[in-house]
């Protein structure tokens, strides 16, 4: 579902007619105009209204919609990777200091990435509410109406899940909020916010089709599997943090079993292809954010992402004559994989070369030079390495949010917690078997884009022992999650929910993170980031621990 430039503009136009606060200047709707009363009478307009919600999910920077104030870049890897032991900030020491603030827990309520995450999430929630609250009155086909409402419910749950795990309990909006109501907004508890997320995801799962029921042009839309997958992820996070809602590992086991038994997903045979073009919306994809490339740069008008330019290599390579080699050195160099992550991979694991590259490596057929002045670790993330797009700030690579391998490993963890040890072992070994058969990533030979054989030695990535149980089995599952899903923005959250986060931090950083954590009435301490300054003041919301 690579939504076109024109489609995005139409989507914004379609949703804009439902924005509150416009004066009613005629008793009758203008002939031929799209209005709140007729938007969902036309299937094209109804689809565009839902596309407008997906559009917000793709925003990584730009103005506050309808306001004009600029908000800076925010990406899930800033939290999921850089705030963990898997990645360092990268680039030069003074570039993008708000990212260093996140890494070192010196963050304030004026931090740019946090502000953008907050603002964009509530923009998406507002657009989802427009659809959820108006589509039932429309006259479009009932099946389409059900599906579109399911997509809106999924996306509202998606936005709220991102908010609650980052900020804790937040205001819960099911209707549009007028400016006059801003001062009366209240902040829900963590448990109530999660209950809201669960309600939306369960309703979405009931309304949405399976992946295979979509036409090819609609691949990338939310599915029953995606809704159940995010529901399982939300429950897993509660099990290790605030489990006031009294969830059980059996629920995670059942949800992941439902996804697996649907026969909608398989592991992509070649791990090296997952983050390449052949892996987009593949059999392994449960949910991913869709992007295309264009001449547009920064801002929500772009149909591409700036994530690639932020993470690609900053130093250009030169040929023998000293001339810059085209297509090298066009990035900013952030999110550098750490030696700790590299050291987690077992000997000869093909996934390591697919995940990172170093100085002198060939990436997509181009030579790479890593300058220590623009790199913290000597490594770069190969999963986001792409050929230079038409516009550097308009990368076409979809961002994988949930993969089938994650579903298998979630079920493995649930099985281990339920003492279904042999089943957990089998699931982990499925993931390892695929990994050991991977090729090298494309273009490891200069001037080529071929997937050359990895020539993995016999005995690499042996099956984990059938006799593993208890803490040893969980340790094996945690290891597999780290290397299989490396640099996919999950490590930070995995560490928090399993109670291991503070143990991987330097002592001073751990102390600051603990000062911003909820520590009573929880399974493991929950470090929280500050609520965006403006909304905390305007909405009169209590700030998170340790922030002004």
pLDDT digits (tens, 9 = 90+) for 75-128: 999 999 999 999 999 999 999 999 999 999 999 999 999 999 999 999 999 999
Per-residue pLDDT tens digits for 259-313:
999 999 999 999 999 999 999 999 999 999 999 988 877 666 678 999 999 999 9
Contacting residues for 428 by C-beta, under 8 A, at least 6 apart: 408, 409, 412, 464, 476, 477, 480
Rounded percentage of the chain residues whose pLDDT exceeds 90: 84
**Cα gap 388→395, rounded to integer Å:** 8
Q: What is the mean pLDDT of residues 427-445?
A: 98
**Cα gap 547→101, rounded to integer Å:** 13
Range with the poorest average pLDDT among 215-219, 238-242, 536-540: 536-540
pLDDT over 60 (residue 26): no
Which residue has better confidence, 295 or 414?
A: 414
Rounding to the nearest 10 degrees, give the CA dihedral for residues 153, 158, 163, 168.
80
Can you give the C-alpha Rg of the chain in angstroms?
23
Structure token pair of residue 127: 């657009």
pLDDT of residue 64: 58
Asked whether the CA dihedral 271, 272, 276, 277 is positive or negative, the reply is: negative
pLDDT of residue 51: 96
Q: Are 271 and 383 in contact (CB under 8 A)?
A: no
Mean pLDDT of the chain: 92
**Cα gap 507→485, rounded to integer Å:** 26
**Cα gap 120→61, rounded to integer Å:** 9
Chain centroid to Cα 419, Å, comes to: 30
**Cα gap 508→529, rounded to integer Å:** 17
pLDDT of residue 68: 60
Q: What is the mean pLDDT of residues 124-141?
A: 96
Per-residue pLDDT tens digits for 308-349:
999 999 999 999 999 999 999 999 999 999 999 999 999 999
pLDDT of residue 11: 43
- Among residues 213, 155, 164, which one has the least CA distance to residue 191? 164
- Among residues 278, 270, 335, 273, which one has the least CA distance to residue 308? 335
- Among residues 467, 463, 462, which one has the least CA distance to residue 416? 467
Provide the 10 A C-beta neighbour count for residue 387: 16
DSSP assignment of 147-170 equals: HHHHHHHHHHHHHHHHHHHHHSS-
pLDDT of residue 107: 97
pLDDT of residue 33: 60
**Cα gap 24→310, rounded to integer Å:** 45
- Among residues 310, 533, 302, 497, which one has the least CA distance to residue 417? 497
pLDDT of residue 43: 96
Q: At what angle do helices 43-58 and 5-16 cross, to 10 degrees?
A: 110
Angle made by CA atoms 240, 535, 502, in degrees to the nearest 5 = 30
- Among residues 413, 409, 384, 420, which one has the least CA distance to residue 399? 384
Q: Are 231 and 201 in contact (CB under 8 A)?
A: yes
pLDDT over 80 (residue 7): no
pLDDT of residue 34: 66
pTM above 0.95, yes or no: no
Cβ density class 434-448: b for 16+ within 10 Å, e for less: bbbebbbbbbbeeee
- Among residues 84, 147, 46, 160, which one has the least CA distance to residue 513? 84
Confidence of residue 23 (pLDDT cuts 50, 70, 90): very low
The secondary structure of residue 69, as a DSSP letter, is -
Q: What is the mean pLDDT of residues 19-27?
A: 34
DSSP helix/strand/coil, 434: helix
pLDDT of residue 501: 98
List Cα–Cα distances, 452 to 380, 388, 438, in angstroms. Answer: 20, 22, 10
Rounding to the nearest 10 degrees, give the CA dihedral for residues 39, 43, 45, 50.
100
CA atoms in the 13 A half-sphere facing the CB of 387: 11
pLDDT of residue 22: 31
pLDDT of residue 181: 81
Contacting residues for 416 by C-beta, under 8 A, at least 6 apart: 424, 469, 473, 474, 477
As beta bridge partners, residue 464 has none
Structure token pair of residue 365: 């057929």
Q: What is the mean pLDDT of residues 526-534?
A: 95
pLDDT of residue 66: 55
Q: What is the mean pLDDT of residues 383-412?
A: 97
Which residue has better confidence, 10 or 277?
A: 277
pLDDT of residue 176: 83
Range with the poorest average pLDDT among 257-261, 277-281, 364-368, 534-538: 534-538
The H or E element spanning position 403 is strand 399-403
pLDDT over 70 (residue 352): yes
pLDDT of residue 493: 98
Structure token pair of residue 258: 């439902």
Range with the poorest average pLDDT among 68-77, 382-391, 446-455: 68-77
Q: What is the mean pLDDT of residues 150-171?
A: 98
């Amino acid at each position: 579902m690579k939504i076109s430039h024109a489609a995005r503009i139409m989507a914004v136009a379609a949703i804009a007619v439902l924005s509150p606060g416009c004066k009613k200047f005629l008793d009758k709707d203008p002939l031929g105009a799209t209005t709140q009363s007729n938007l969902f009478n036309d299937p094209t307009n109804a689809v565009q209204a839902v596309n407008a919600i997906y559009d917000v999910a793709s925003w990584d920077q730009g103005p506050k919609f309808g306001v004009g104030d600029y908000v800076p870049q925010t990406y899930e890897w800033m939290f999921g990777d850089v705030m963990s032991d898997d990645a360092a900030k990268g680039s030069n020491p003074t570039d993008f200091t708000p990212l260093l603030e996140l890494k070192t827990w010196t963050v304030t309520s004026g931090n740019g990435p946090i502000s953008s995450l907050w603002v964009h999430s509530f923009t998406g929630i507002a657009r989802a509410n427009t659809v959820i609250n108006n589509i039932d009155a429309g006259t479009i086909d009932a099946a389409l109406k059900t599906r579109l409402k399911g997509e809106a419910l999924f996306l509202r749950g998606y936005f709220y899940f991102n908010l609650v795990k980052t900020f804790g309990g937040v205001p819960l909006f099911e209707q549009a909020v007028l400016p006059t109501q801003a001062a009366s907004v209240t902040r829900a508890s963590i448990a109530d916010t999660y209950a809201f997320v669960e309600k939306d995801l369960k309703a979405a799962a009931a309304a949405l089709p399976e992946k295979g029921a979509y036409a090819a042009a609609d691949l990338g839309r939310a599915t029953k599997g995606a809704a159940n997958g995010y529901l399982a992820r939300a429950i897993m996070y509660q099990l290790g943090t605030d489990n006031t809602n009294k969830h059980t590992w059996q629920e995670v086991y059942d949800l992941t079993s439902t996804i697996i038994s649907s026969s909608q997903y398989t592991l992509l045979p070649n791990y090296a292809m997952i983050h390449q073009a052949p892996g987009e919306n593949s059999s392994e994809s449960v949910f991913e954010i869709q992007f295309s490339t264009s001449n547009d740069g920064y801002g929500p008008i772009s149909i591409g992402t700036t994530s690639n330019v932020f993470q690609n290599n900053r130093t250009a390579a030169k040929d023998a004559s000293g001339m810059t080699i085209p297509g090298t050195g066009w990035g900013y160099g952030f999110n550098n994989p750490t030696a700790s992550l590299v050291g987690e991979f077992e000997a000869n694991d093909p996934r390591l070369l697919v995940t990172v590259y170093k100085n002198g490596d060939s990436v997509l057929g181009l030579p790479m030079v890593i300058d220590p002045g623009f790199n913290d670790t000597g490594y770069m993330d190969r999963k986001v390495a792409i050929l230079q797009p038409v516009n550097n700030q308009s990368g076409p690579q979809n961002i994988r949010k949930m993969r089938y391998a994650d579903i298998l490993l979630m079920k493995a963890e649930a099985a281990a917690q339920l003492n279904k040890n042999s089943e957990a072992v089998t699931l982990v070994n499925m993931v390892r078997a695929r990994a050991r058969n991977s090729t090298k990533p494309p273009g490891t030979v200069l001037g080529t884009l071929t997937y050359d054989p990895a020539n993995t030695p016999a005995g690499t990535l042996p099956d984990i022992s059938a006799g593993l149980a208890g803490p040893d089995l969980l340790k094996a599952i945690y290891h597999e999650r780290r290397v299989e899903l490396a640099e996919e923005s999950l490590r930070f959250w995995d560490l928090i929910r399993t109670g291991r986060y503070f143990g991987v931090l330097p002592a001073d950083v751990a102390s600051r993170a603990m000062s911003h954590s909820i520590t009573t009435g929880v399974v493991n301490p929950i470090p929280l980031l500050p609520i965006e300054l403006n909304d905390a003041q305007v909405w009169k919301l209590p700030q998170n621990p340790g922030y002004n």
